Amino acid sequence: MTKAASGAETYPNVGRVLVVIPTYNEAENIRVITDRLRKAVPAAYVLVADDNSPDGTGAIADELAAADDHIKVLHREGKQGLGAAYLAGFAWAREHDYDVVVEMDADGSHAPEELPKLLDALANADLVLGSRWVPGGKVVNWPAHRFAISRIGNFYVRTAIGVPVKDITGGYRAFRMAVLDKIELDSVASQGYCFQIDLAWRALKQGFRVVELPITFAERERGASKMSSNIVREALWRTTIWGVQARAAAVRRKLTGRPAD
C-alpha cells in the first residue's frame, strides 16, 4: 500500500505538532477522529496511545498508520489509565523532537476543527487550555450529572489550590515542549481528571504562560466513557492535599521570609 503524501511537516510559527490520542475501546471512533484531524490540520502528526483495547482499536490504528505517514501508534500492554497513556505519549514526542504536544480525546468530544485556534494562541502562551467554562465555551448534550461534576469540581479545585483557571480538568490542550521538559513528568502519579489538574498546576507554578480559550465540548455519540467514581475521588483527595501543602508552604514563607523553593 502506498502511504498518503505527508504534506507540510510543520505548523506556522509553532513547528512540529504531535496530537496524542489515548484510546481504550474506541474502535467506533478512531477512524473518524483521525480523518477529521488530518483534514483540519494537515501538518499535525497523530500518535494513538492504545492500551491494548479488547475491541481492536490498536489494530485499526495500525491500518491507519500503514496508509498515512502522519499517523503513529504506541501499543501499550494493558489499561493503565489516561494519565499513564499521556505520559508515554509525551515521552515519545520528546524522543521524536516535536515542538508542541496536543491532548485530544478519541471520541469527538474535542473538535479537531478547533485545533488551529489553540495552536495559533501558542504565539503568546506556553500552554493553551481548551475551556468549556470561559465566555464562549460550551458543552453539548452533556448529562446533568457530568455538568454538575465538572462545574462543582472546577470550583472546588480553584478554591483548594488557589488557581484562576476556570476549566482545569479539561482534556483538550496544547503544550509547548518546554513546559513538558520543565514540569518533572517523572513524578506525576495522578490519573484521570486529576492528571489534567496536576499538569496545569505544575505549569502555573513554574511561571509558564497559561491561557484559556473557549471550546465546544460535545458528548460522545459512540462508545462508552471511562469515567468512574474512582476518578472523581482521586481528583478530590489529591487536590485537597495539594491545597493544604500550598497553604502550609505559604505560611512557612511568611514566617521565615524565604522565597518559594
Q: Which one, 15 or 232, has the nearer CB to ligand GDD?
A: 232
Q: Which residues bind ligand GDD (CB under 6 A)?
A: 22-24, 26, 49-51, 79-82, 85, 105-107, 109, 150, 169-171, 193, 196, 220, 225-227
Q: Which one, 6 or 194, has the nearer CB to ligand GDD?
A: 194
Q: Is the separation of the CB atoms in 57 and 27 below 8 Å?
A: yes
Cβ-closest position to ligand GDD: 171
Q: Is the separation of the CB atoms in 78 and 50 below 8 Å?
A: no
- Helices marked H in 96-208: 115-121, 144-157, 177-182, 192-205
Q: Which one, 59 or 249, has the nearer CB to ligand GDD?
A: 59
CB of 212 vs ligand GDD, minimal distance in Å: 14
CB of 117 vs ligand GDD, minimal distance in Å: 17
DSSP state of 6: -
CB of 193 vs ligand GDD, minimal distance in Å: 4
**3-state secondary structure at position 162:** helix
Q: Which one, 26 or 126, has the nearer CB to ligand GDD?
A: 26
CB of 181 vs ligand GDD, minimal distance in Å: 22
Q: Is the separation of the CB atoms in 211 and 143 below 8 Å?
A: no
Closest of 205, 189, 192 to residue 245, by C-alpha: 205
